[in-house]
Structure 1
Amino acid sequence: MHHPIGADTPEPNPEDVARGLAELELHLAGQVPAEQPAVDLSRGETKRVKALRAEVAEAHLLAQLQDDDTPLLLDTVKVRKRRKQAGEAARLHQLAQDPTMRAWQAARMRRLLVAGAMVALALALAWSTVGVQKFAADGASLWSPAWIIAWLVEPFLSLALMVVVGARAYIGTHGQPIESPTLARIEYLFLALTLGMNAWPHLAVSSFEEFSFSQLMLHMLGPIVTVAVVTALPIILAAFSDLDHGGTGTPRTGPSYRANVEALTVRARALIDAGELPADAGAGKIRAALGCGMDPARAVRDALTRGQASGGAA
């Protein structure tokens, strides 16, 4: 039987109300989780979702960029440096083929060789000065007039020899080597005197001292080097004069070269007939008269010699 709420129903006291509220709070606390993840209320995504979405987007972009070969077409610093070196080497090689550059290189090398030969010649003559002084002093006492004057024998011989060799070297560097038997005999006379005066005091037949082969070789070293330099230098200079730097673009052999020699030979015969060129002119005079190189001048000289021989035989 239900009783209406009224006077028969007892009113709750304050303690019952407080107890009921406490039980209600405990019930609600048991229904709600202790920790909730941070939620972006604007989009409804967590931080982990955002990080994964960014990673996936980055992977898609990387996959697209990996198919692009443009970075591989760009030159690195090392490649650019190597290409620069290769281009420089190609230009230097092309420049080295230029006739003017080849002529300059030949002239420079010729000057260096002549300078080296002259230095070697001077040192060789200085080396032989001691041996010549010993020969010229002939046992004179130290610091006596004869002993002092003996030191001047080799220098004045060397200076005379250097004048002849220096003149031949200088004129040879200008493409006109001196072919004079007289100068050659003068050179070998000076060299023979120097060699004899160095070797005589150390020969077994000499009465100056006991024979020593090592001392003989040492004192002959200077004259031998001098002979080698004096003999080799004109040959080297003549070879430089015969160099073809390619300025005319014609080879040294072949039909074009032979035709050029034939034309020069005709001109040379005309000059001989006119009395402007001797019939027995050497290569140097032919070169000066025709204005050609030393190699064609020699070929013309040989052709003229053959023509004279065949004419005389007829």
Structure 2
Amino acid sequence: MTAPAINGTKYPQPVEALLPAAREIVKELGEVPARNELMRRFRIGAPKAQELRDRLIAEKAREIVLRDRTQRADTEPAVDLWDYAEPIGPDPLPAPVVPESVPLVEPVLTPVVAPVVAEPVEQVAPVSHPGTPAPLGPPPALNRNERRALRAQAAHDALMQGQTRRVREWTAKAAEARQLRRLLMDPDIQAVRLMRQRARWTAMAWSALLFALAFTMVNVQRFAAGHAEAWSPTWLVAWLVDPAFSILLVGLLIARGQLSAVGRSVHQRTVRRVEYALLASTAAMNVMPTLAEGYPGGWREQAMQVLLHLLIPGLAFAAALVITLIQDHFADAIASITEGEDAR
């Protein structure tokens, strides 16, 4: 495994050579990357990656300290070096007042003692006015223990403020839940969800209706064919009797469903009577062969077959009855949601 080409070479490089590229990664991510990330990007071992990460953390800490000092220096008001509240030197003594009648007396001369000059002491910072900010110097480098203590202190401060991992996770979940609730309460989204639910319910109701009509198709063919021979013209045409009734019934239900979707419900008695007559005719033709046929089990088996051939058309009748009713309710709900949004 070879290291990526940095500074024009593919050989393993020291930490100093990897620092510029690592600084670019810090600028890209906005934080110091993890050790595994440095190992993956530079293809280096764990010790070198840890050392590189420590160097980056030290530089980050120095930048934070330097930025704090700069901000503190910018916020302090500037002080005029020559604006003193009091004079620098001592106050001059007033001149003695000598009356004219007093004779002049010569002053007594005292020997002058030469002052002892102390050797200058080297100062770390130049002496200036108390309000003058001290010049900024390079921040001290942090060793491994200091960096570890800094990270531990930051983790302790976050823990004392309640910023634990679980708190951060639940905070993110709460923010996500607020966004989802706001979107789900949007009228357009609610209308679309109702439309999809109406389509699913309609598909299930149509499946029940078509299965019931397919079941009745066999007995209706037996009723229409009578004693005709198999595969004769009468026997073949008898298979078209049930589809003829079913196609008209299905067409009426489809038309009512489409009109209901646009707010034009059809509840005329004529349409209802036609639907009921088609279903009743299909049910009667489905039961007649069962009543005329003899069963080995006697009248009990015959009664069970009659009940079965009545329940299946009853299922078709129930599906045809509730399809348009439920579609009308869905249409009213969607219209109320959209009309409320338009009114706002």
TM-score (norm 2): 0.49
1:83 Cα deviation after fit: 4.2
Looking at structure 2, the residues matched to 143 and 234 of structure 1 have their Cα atoms a distance apart, in angstroms, of: 39
Please name the residue that 1:199 is paired with: 287
> Could you tell me whether the CA contact under 8 Å between 2:209 and 2:316 is conserved in 1?
yes
> Could you tell me whether the CA contact under 8 Å between 2:220 and 2:286 is conserved in 1?
yes
Please name the residue that 2:340 is paired with: 248
1:71 Cα deviation after fit: 4.7
CA 1:79–1:124: 2 relative to 1, 3 Å: farther
Q: Which one has a larger percent helix, Structure 1 or Structure 2?
A: 1
Say if 2:315 is the partner of 1:222: no
Please name the residue that 1:175 is paired with: 263
1:249 Cα deviation after fit: 6.7
CA 1:80–1:213: 2 relative to 1, 3 Å: farther
Q: Deviations over 1:175-228 (max 9, x none)?
A: 22112211111101100100101112223xx3x324412222332233111100
Residue 329 of structure 2 aligns with an amino acid whose one-letter code is A
Q: 1:237 aligns with which of 327, 331, 335?
A: 327
Please name the residue that 2:294 is paired with: 209
Give aligned-pair identity as a percent: 33
Looking at structure 2, the residues matched to 131 and 83 of structure 1 have their Cα atoms a distance apart, in angstroms, of: 65
Please name the residue that 1:164 is paired with: 252
CA 1:155–1:67: 2 relative to 1, 3 Å: closer
Say if 2:241 is the partner of 1:153: yes
Looking at structure 1, the residues matched to 245 and 261 of structure 2 have their Cα atoms a distance apart, in angstroms, of: 24
Q: 1:69 aligns with which of 136, 142, 156?
A: 156
Residue 120 of structure 1 aligns with an amino acid whose one-letter code is A
CA 1:81–1:143: 2 relative to 1, 3 Å: farther
Please name the residue that 2:206 is paired with: 118
Please name the residue that 1:129 is paired with: 217
Residue 209 of structure 1 aligns with an amino acid whose one-letter code is G
When the two chains are superposed, the root-mean-square deviation of aligned CA atoms in Å is: 3.2
Equivalences for residues 80-99 of structure 1 within 5 A: 80-99=168-187
Please name the residue that 1:280 is paired with: none
Larger radius of gyration: 1
Residue 156 of structure 2 aligns with an amino acid whose one-letter code is D
CA 1:125–1:179: 2 relative to 1, 3 Å: same
Q: Secondary structure at the match of 2:337?
A: coil
**What is the total number of aligned residue pairs between the two structures?**
190
1:93 Cα deviation after fit: 1.9
1:97 Cα deviation after fit: 1.4
CA 1:153–1:68: 2 relative to 1, 3 Å: closer
Q: Secondary structure at the match of 1:106?
A: helix
Q: Deviations over 1:58-102 (max 9, x none)?
A: 8xx98x9579623525553x6655544443333222222111111
Say if 2:193 is the partner of 1:105: yes
Looking at structure 2, the residues matched to 105 and 69 of structure 1 have their Cα atoms a distance apart, in angstroms, of: 48
Residue 106 of structure 1 aligns with an amino acid whose one-letter code is L
Q: Secondary structure at the match of 1:176?
A: coil
Unmatched tracts of structure 1, length 5 or more:
1-57, 252-314
Q: Secondary structure at the match of 1:179?
A: coil
Equivalences for residues 33-44 of structure 1 within 5 A: none
Looking at structure 2, the residues matched to 247 and 75 of structure 1 have their Cα atoms a distance apart, in angstroms, of: 46
CA 1:99–1:133: 2 relative to 1, 3 Å: same
> Could you tell me whether the CA contact under 8 Å between 2:191 and 2:338 is conserved in 1?
no
Say if 2:235 is the partner of 1:143: no
Please name the residue that 2:135 is paired with: none
Q: Deviations over 1:125-178 (max 9, x none)?
A: 111101111111113222222221111111111111111111001111222211
Q: Secondary structure at the match of 1:245?
A: helix
> Could you tell me whether the CA contact under 8 Å between 1:201 and 1:209 is conserved in 2?
no
TM-score (norm 1): 0.53
